[in-house]
Amino acid sequence: MSLPTVGKKSALRFAYHLTLIDTFGAISLSHAIEDAVQHIRRCKKCGGVSEHEICEICLDEIRGNGQLCVVENAKDIFTLEENRLFSGRYFVFDDLEKIENLKDIIEEAGAKEVIFAFTPSLASDAMILFIEDRLKDLDLNFTKIAQGVPTGVQLENVDMLSLAKALKDRTKV
């Protein structure tokens, strides 16, 4: 078994610590993982993570502000929610066949704006165009998160695609 972003050295440190230093922590961790596997599922509406059939965000009527943020995976919702950056509804678009589900949630939420919060790439841009084309019969405003030069990063450390987008999408000062 392997975990994302955990290399061999880190895994060895974790295993050593849990088996020889903190055995109670190891048992607690194993029970927590077992509990999560048994009780965590995908929300039937948005595809996010939930302990129930419908997640708390989808059940929250206050979040019906006309905005729907489309993300690539459920953990992106956690990132946006943790930082309280968005107060609308979400939809996880991780499969091309979910286009009908997306239409349903747009209509149910009364969405007027669809915000794409995808990882910047050519593949993501192609996916956005695909989705826009499939939703063109709906009266929607399509936007995507801004891209460009991150704060505090030297230009020499910015990839060319990000730098090109930053120049292209520059704003007036």
What are 77-102's pLDDT values in tens digits?
Answer: 999 999 887 899 999 999 888 999 99
Rounded mean pLDDT of 10-39? 94
Mean pLDDT of 91-117: 92
Q: Domains of the chain: which residue ranges?
A: 42-144
- Segment 50-79 shows an average pLDDT of 92
Distance of CA 88 to the CA centre of its chain: 14
**pLDDT tens digits, residue range 122-140?**
899 999 999 999 999 999 9
Amino acid 167: pLDDT: 84
pLDDT at 172 over 80: no
Tell me the C-alpha distance between 110 and 121, whole Å.
29
pTM to 2 decimal places: 0.81
Which class does domain 42-144 fall in?
alpha beta
| Residue 4 binned pLDDT confidence (cut-offs 50, 70, 90) | confident
> Which distant-in-sequence residues (6+ apart) come within 8 Å of 108 by Cβ?
45
